Structure 1
Amino acid sequence: MNLDAKLRRRAAEGNPVRVGIIGAGKFGAMFLSQCGHHPGYHVLGIADLSADRARATLDRVGWPKERYDAPDAATALAQKKTWITEDADALIEADGLEVLIDATGNPAAGIRHALKGIENGRHLVMVNVEADVLAGPLLAKKAEQSGLVYSLAYGDQPALIAEMVDWGRTVGMDIVCAGKGTKYLPAYHHVTPDDVWTHYGLTPEQAKAGGMNPQMFNSFLDGTKSAIEMAAVSNACDLVPQDDGLAFPPCGVDDLPRILSPRETGGVLSRKGTVEVVSSVERDGRPVFRDLRWGVYVTFEAPSDYVARCFSEYGLLTDPTGRYSTMYKPYHLIGLELGISVASAALRQEATGAPRAWAGDAVATAKKPLKQGDQLDGEGGYTVYGKLMPAATSRAKGALPIGLAHGITLKRSVATDQVLTWDDVVLDEQDPTLRFRKEMEAAFS
């Protein structure tokens, strides 16, 4: 509860926290819109594939041009301005940089930037949850070995969930389940970018005018993003996914402790200490009462009869047994909250959630019948969606991670809803991302 004071002390000393961000998309824009309102942050540089796009982002969020006209990193450091570049490596290597944010959303790029950041002594905030789920446990280990912080991004749901799990365990509660809300129907697994906008109530023209990427938004809808985020939570919180992955039960906030409890006491969970995503709509499409579509939650069990009585005395919602209860947060503010991770890494040398085990995996699953020679197009596309499973199961099956299911070719047919394996695809064994993933699997098996 003293990050603001620490940041202001750094500002008063003329030494604000120096930040570099790679990727000036929506998440990056939201962070940039906020960090300029606090003197404790200095955005030393922004790297994007298009410098013009980065400048347009700064214009959109209200940055005055004189703040980002630095011609190079050295000038930006000396004058406390911001340098814009298309060279991510140059930003990572820039003198004075303390905290590196990867907000690219590209798994291969995220892993490469993280390794480069560790090599150059930078704390890492990984907005790129796709990269984190593909190989985050090993990245976090390498960062720790170098005395650096590797952190999930506060404001994104996995970090907020990890915070709630940490709260529960710190006060002595047994964590039963942790997760988030979303809008889900079983048919969504097979939606493609061609028909995604009908489920958002938009026309393709409206979406295009808003600069909305159909493949990205489809990954939110088809279950892929939920699988990826819950794998990140599993790895950060030592929670093991259920054997069948996510069931997406319809559930409002008042029913969380009843539904997100073990089956033997009337809930839906196959085990305690797991993750689940709740749907904001019933299976017939009716809205759930007091849904948690934008929020996060944790359910926990009273460790004694005395604590269960306290639940009742202080008005906590519980299941019928009175032993399971819930804390939830109805919203998350995405990049607007990212400064918490940056400040925590720089000033406390603490992550806002980080993978510490390989407990969950998000694997590629066929959206339709696929045949030999078909090329996979990754999350949110036409060919595959992401499915959550325990990491031990993924390794035993030889399942193909969703983060590697892009631009590779099938060498045999795969049925609809079948999990793809390494043996189903043509692999480039020299690909550095594939090799790093294999190294991670070996290190955490």
Structure 2
Amino acid sequence: MSYRDRLQRRLDDTGRPVRVGLIGAGQMGRGFAAQLLKMPGVSLSAVFDVDRDRAVEAFSQAGITASSATDPDVAARAIENGESVALGGVDEIGALPLDIVVEATGVPDVGARTAIESLAAGMDYATLNVEQDVTVGRYMLRLAEESGRLYSVCRGDEPVETKILVDFARDLNLEVICAGKGKNNPLDPYATPEGLAAEAARKKMNPKMLTEFVDGSKAMIEMAALANTTGLEMSRRGMYGPSSTVPTLHETFALQEDGGVLDRPGVVDYCIGPVAPGVFVIVRTDDPYVQHEMAYLQMGDGPYFSLYRPYHLASIEAPLTVYSMVLDREASLTSEHWTSEVGAESKRPLKAGELITGIGTDTIRGLADPADDFLEENGVPLGVLAGARLVRDVPADHMLSYDDVELDEDSLIVKMRRYQEAMARGEDVPSLKDLQAAIAR
């Protein structure tokens, strides 16, 4: 039975819809809201955004007038009465009667804070913020399990949609050689928001978000998330990123001994060229009859074959994770493995004392790395660098380490990353209750 029919049945049985809260009413959040509001049995009960007008617009685009309630108790009653509320902050999350919270800010610190508050209040938590997951995803999964609720990265972006292809290949007992995506934008490792301002305006995007796409940071983040959910390895630091086409994917991502770019099987990577916005998995089989059948089905000549999905629908597809969590109690993507990290390279020479302005700016870009190599070189995660200061001069194209920077130790995402690293060492780490108390202080 479809999710649509099951949600309608749930509404008929319980008398009330699934109550969803949305954090962040930018491009991704509004796309999510627009699609979610078309589904029966689901209510977008609250939208939170630092710019309350954007939260209001997330409702008005669907012809819904949001309640003007701002007091948490009044807002809670409005939701109980079937109304929707638009709020300018996130402090009220834990006081509202929501079933699941979806976060779409792309800011790791905001994602961490709202996840803790939501889980502690007994709500499931889904995120479009892959940046957060590659930084503290393993710790987030532990906190969710402790709370008895679910945590998940949302469907729609490449990590989850590629994972589905990986699961499909593994269920067919095909050997996974490589899984990955086509890069959506031309690669410019030195892109800046200022240089992309006009293009961002044409596309109605935040210039920092577009910069994150163009400079390769987003591809690094997404492929690391894919690696950490599937157990596949990072192909190499920064990945190969070759040019390819859909018909030649299985040739490009074959092993080097067979004419491809890869030095070993079981990795993630991306490509440049007319493959985006699709995702792919390259598989191999040595069985002569399976090769014959695959060739008959026009999948290639073998032994390498491409499984290709020609699209990902980003925020439009994200509501599927909400339905899966509510109805099936299943997450779409969690970091169950630790094979990859995302560090940072300097885009230009940086001076001691200079402030790092974070992802999608003119200071740094993301750089994916095998986890063991990253640990050995004392790499510092991309997701904790916003607000950090250089303690020494570094040249352009330098991979930053903890020795290069002084982090903002008051930042929640920095604290959580410290705890995740302690967790990996087998040390005790704060509980969800402890973290919530620390936020309250």
Q: Equivalent residue for 1:228?
A: 221
The aligned runs of 1:15-54 (5 Å cut-off) are: 15-54=16-55
**CA deviation after TM superposition for structure 1 residue 347, in Å:** 0.7
Instruction: Quote the sequence identity (%).
Output: 33
Q: Equivalent residue for 2:67?
A: 69
**CA gap 1:53/1:391 in 2 versus in 1, 3 angstroms:** same
Q: Equivalent residue for 2:232?
A: 239
Residue 175 of structure 1 contacts residue 299 of structure 1 at CA under 8 Å; is this kept in 2? Answer: yes
**CA deviation after TM superposition for structure 1 residue 324, in Å:** 1.3
- Can you list the C-alpha shifts for 1:286-345, whole angstroms capped at 9, x where unaligned? xxxxx1121111111225333222211222135xxx111111111111111111000000
Residue 107 of structure 1 contacts residue 128 of structure 1 at CA under 8 Å; is this kept in 2? Answer: yes
From 272, 275, 279, the counterpart of 2:272: 279
Distance 2:376 2:142 in 1: 23
**CA gap 1:240/1:209 in 2 versus in 1, 3 angstroms:** closer
Residue 103 of structure 2 contacts residue 127 of structure 2 at CA under 8 Å; is this kept in 1? Answer: yes
From 403, 416, 435, the counterpart of 1:423: 403
Residue 149 of structure 1 contacts residue 345 of structure 1 at CA under 8 Å; is this kept in 2? Answer: yes
- Secondary structure of the residue aligned to 2:44 is strand
TM value normalised by structure 1:
0.90
Distance 2:336 2:54 in 1: 35
Distance 1:98 1:412 in 2: 47
Q: Equivalent residue for 2:332?
A: 352
Q: Equivalent residue for 2:177?
A: 176
Q: Equivalent residue for 2:58?
A: 57
- Secondary structure of the residue aligned to 1:148 is coil
- Secondary structure of the residue aligned to 2:208 is helix
- Secondary structure of the residue aligned to 2:31 is helix
Q: Equivalent residue for 1:376?
A: 356
Distance 2:305 2:52 in 1: 49
**Bigger Cα displacement from structure 2, 354-363 vs 3-12:** 3-12
Residue 240 of structure 1 contacts residue 273 of structure 1 at CA under 8 Å; is this kept in 2? Answer: yes
TM value normalised by structure 2:
0.90
- Secondary structure of the residue aligned to 1:340 is helix
Distance 1:170 1:144 in 2: 26
The aligned runs of 1:195-274 (5 Å cut-off) are: 195-196=195-196, 204=198, 207-208=200-201, 211-274=204-267
**CA deviation after TM superposition for structure 1 residue 192, in Å:** 1.6
Q: Equivalent residue for 1:288?
A: none
The amino acid across from 1:388 in the alignment is A
Distance 2:194 2:40 in 1: 45
Distance 1:62 1:363 in 2: 40
Mind listing any 5+ residue stretches in structure 2 that lack a counterpart? 426-441
Residue 134 of structure 2 contacts residue 224 of structure 2 at CA under 8 Å; is this kept in 1? Answer: yes
Q: Equivalent residue for 2:431?
A: none
Distance 1:237 1:213 in 2: 31
Provide the alpha-carbon RMSD of the alignment: 1.9
Residue 240 of structure 1 contacts residue 275 of structure 1 at CA under 8 Å; is this kept in 2? Answer: yes
From 319, 322, 344, the counterpart of 1:342: 322
The amino acid across from 2:368 in the alignment is L
Distance 1:75 1:177 in 2: 51
